[in-house]
Structure 1
C-alpha cells in the first residue's frame, strides 16, 4: 500500500469568508486558487504548503448535526475541557508560548493542558463555528 498522508481538512460553514479570515489571522494560512464548484469555497494552505484547509459553504439541506461546542466569547471552560476527547484538528507550532499569547490577545477562550511533567504543552479552543482545535508544542513529524 502506498504511503497514506493527510491531503486536506474540510470545514463546512454558513459564513465562508468569516471562517477563512479566522484561519488566516490565527494560523497564518494563505488563500489558494480554487476551481468553481457552484458554491462558495476558500482553499487555504500553510507556507510552505504542507497543510491544506478547505472552507466550504454548508449545504443548507444537510441533516448532519451542528458542533456541540460554543464558539462565542462566553464559551464554557468545561466545554473546552472536553475537546481532548472530542472531534478536533491538531496542529503543531514552533513557538507554542507565543501562539497561546496571540490567542489570549484575540480574546479566544482556551483550555491548556500539559503532559509528561510539562514537556508536552497543548491548548484547546474552537473556531467561530465551534469546530474543535488543538495546538501543541510538538515538532513536525518526518
Structure 2
C-alpha cells in the first residue's frame, strides 16, 4: 500500500486574501471546489512533498500550532521559522522567486548551505503561517 500526502488545510478568517497570496506568490491555481456550505477555496500545485519533523525552539516567538490567523506578520521574525511549523516548496529559479518576495515587501530570512548549492528563504504568508522555499531537488 502506498501512502502519499493528499492535501494540507489552512484555516483563515479571510479565504480570498489567503488564496490570492498562494496564487500570486507560490503559483498555485484554483481548482473545482465542492459546496461545503461555507467559504472554501481549493488550490493545486504540482509538486512532491516531504515531511520534516522539527524540535520546537522554546525561545522562538512562534505559535505552538500551525493555526495562526491572528498573527501580526510585521512583528514575526522569519529566522525563527527554521525551528517551527512551516510548509516548504522547491522552485526552479530561486533568485527570481526571492526577487518577487522583495518586490512585494515580504520580510525574509535566507540560508545558504552545502557550499552554496542549497539556498533557502523563509517568510510568512498573510496569516502568519511559516513558509520555506528552496532550490533543492525533490526528495526521492
Size of the aligned set, in residue pairs, is: 124
- For the residues of structure 1 that align with 2:100 and 2:113, how far apart are their CA atoms? 22
Match of 1:140 in 2: 138
RMSD: 2.2
Shift of 1:38: 1.4
1:68-123 residue CA offsets vs partner (Å, 9 max, x unmatched): 8532xx345xx211101100000000101110011001111100011112111100
Q: Cα offset for 1:50? A: 4.0
Alignment partner of 2:6: what SS? coil
Q: TM-score, normalised by structure 1?
A: 0.79
**Unaligned ranges ≥5, structure 2:** 49-64
For 1:109, the equivalent position in structure 2 comes to 107
Q: Identify the structure with the greater strand proportion.
A: 1
Contact map agreement 1:69 1:126 (CA 8 A) in 2: no
What's the TM-score, normalizing by structure 2?
Answer: 0.80
When residues 124 and 69 of structure 1 are mapped into structure 2, their CA distance, relative to the original with a 3 A threshold, is farther
